[in-house]
């Protein structure tokens, strides 16, 4: 699971190696990457809302 999280974070920042991306798509399950990506995106949005609300106070 940690490897999936690392791959999703690298993809978010656009720094994932081509070899790692190819390995993820050939050996990884797409559903897991989608779910982790959605959770990470929700966490990012929640963090941004939190920071904005704290800055507005």
- For the chain, the domains span 2-56
* pLDDT greater at residue 6 or residue 45: 45
* pLDDT greater at residue 49 or residue 9: 49
Sequence-separated (6 or more) residues with CB below 8 Å from residue 14:
none
Question: Which pLDDT belongs to residue 57?
Answer: 84
Residue 32 pLDDT level (bands cut at 50, 70, 90): confident
The mean per-residue pLDDT over the stretch 14-33 comes to 81
Sequence-separated (6 or more) residues with CB below 8 Å from residue 44:
12
Inter-residue contact 6 to 37 (CB < 8 Å): no
Mean model confidence pLDDT for the chain: 87
Outline where the chain has alpha helix (H). Answer: 2-13, 18-27, 30-56
């Amino acid at each position: 699971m940690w490897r999936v999280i690392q791959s999703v974070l690298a993809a978010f920042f656009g720094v994932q190696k081509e070899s790692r991306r190819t390995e993820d798509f050939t050996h990884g399950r797409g559903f897991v990457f989608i779910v982790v990506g959605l959770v990470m995106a929700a966490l990012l949005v929640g963090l941004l809302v939190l920071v904005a609300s704290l800055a507005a106070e």
